[in-house]
Structure 1
């Protein structure tokens, strides 16, 4: 039974090219859904069946993400904003899928969340705050006064949030920023702790 939803972008030039790739057994990659830039929705794998979309990684210590997740591909190269027709369909699909399988908002993640350093999709242009506002993704924290801005504390908070701990500090910081502060750069800063404040997961 699926307990996670993993969001991806296709990194291809068109939805048709992505559809061809996802349906060709030679490529050994698949996903449950593909949403075109114009809002067209394709279902390629039944939700109760395994799709090959996640690869190596983990979330909250659980591995074999393919066996426990629903994969949604978004037609996007990663270099441009996600259009409103596509996001409207994603909102509806997430609402329906989360209800069907009793998946909580904190179990809707990006490919980059579960595979830091290996994957960067759905990328820095993905509107996570839109999903948070609609309760379709976990709410970020609002702690504006972190007491101890050390890397050790950061790693503890990040692991509690679900991110895999078995990567180096720089890779982990980049993955968390990709989700919460994609414009940020430089060394670990107090602002990096704000979205990781303790909250129900």
Structure 2
């Protein structure tokens, strides 16, 4: 695996050991535009690596330094995720630059194969549990959508990276119950919020299916149920929440 040095000035010093991996898409018109931006000192944004469509990999920031990719974000009760994580930008236009027919641009196989090889290298060097391999939308659900519902999380799990639930349900009747929708309140909503917070999402377990809860449900679906990104917790979503919670809390 060849890694090209493309140093960015946008970094500082870590405050915590590395124990997270955050995946992004670039969300720009081209990889060159994304690379130029991440190397522009005025942009104040960067990542440790960028993976091109053809599988080339650029390294912008050394892994022992704090790249500026996560922004205001939280996961499993932690903040300052830039200090705790390695960030990888994957060249893809995403929601901002869809294809001509409106669909999201695919991630080419050589790109995903290179990404898998890079992540395996990172995991060999750092103690990063499967529960802390996340997308940008997981850690900032109110403002981010990347790497998007078109990102092949299941393919990564099949390569031994992260997790993909093989079970559709949970034995907990409070989670595997009736569907829930924005605006609802009550114990069932609170229980769902507790499961989502137990997975790692930053969420106030107040029993109200409010806009922040809808944003988290949508982020969960984008990651775990990419064919139904609605923000509505239907039965399949509730079952999947329970299955992921069971794995994350094991």
Q: Shorter-chain TM-score: which interval?
A: over 0.9
Secondary structure class of the residue paired with 2:42: helix
Shift of 1:156: 1.1
The answer to whether the aligner puts 1:8 opposite 2:21 as a matched pair is no
Q: Answer yes or no: is 1:163 the counterpart of 2:201.
A: yes
User: Based on CA coordinates, which of the two structures has the bigger radius of gyration?
Assistant: 2
Q: In structure 2, what is the Cα distance between the partners aligned to 1:92 and 1:151? A: 40
Q: 1:186 to 1:2 in 2, by over 3 A?
A: closer
Greater percentage in helix: 1
TM-aligned CA deviation for residue 15 of structure 1: 1.1
8 Å CA contact 2:51–2:57 kept in 1: the answer is yes
Q: CA RMSD in A?
A: 1.6
Greater than 6 Å deviation, 4+ residue runs: none
Distance in 1, matches of 2:189 and 2:132, equals: 25
TM-score, with normalisation over the residues of structure 1? Answer: 0.94
How far has the Cα of 1:173 moved from its partner? 1.1
RCO higher in 1 or 2 (8 Å CA, sep ≥ 6)? Answer: 1
Task: Extract unaligned runs of 5+ from structure 1.
Answer: none
> How far did residue 186 of structure 1 move?
6.3
State whether residues 215 and 231 of structure 2, in contact with CA within 8 Å, keep that contact through their aligned partners in structure 1. no
1:194 shift after superposition? 2.6
Q: Which aligned pairs between 1:55-66 and structure 2 lie closer than 5 A?
A: 55-66=71-82
Aligned to 1:189: 234
Residues 1:141 and 1:117: Cα distance change in structure 2 (over 3 Å) = farther
Offset at 1:163? 1.0
Number of residues paired by the alignment? 201
Are 2:53 and 1:37 aligned?
yes
C-alpha contact (below 8 Å) 1:32/1:71 kept by paired residues? yes
Alpha-carbon offset, residue 175 of structure 1: 1.0
Alignment map for 1:11-160 (pairs within 5 Å): 11-78=27-94, 79-140=104-165, 142-144=167-169, 147-148=173-174, 149=177, 150-160=188-198
Deviation at 1:182, TM superposition (A): 2.2
Judge conservation of contact 2:30–2:91 (CA < 8 Å) in 1: yes
SS of 2:214 mapped into structure 1: helix
Distance in 1 between the 2:74 and 2:165 partners? 20
Structure 2: where are the runs of 5+ without partners? 1-16, 95-103, 178-187, 205-210
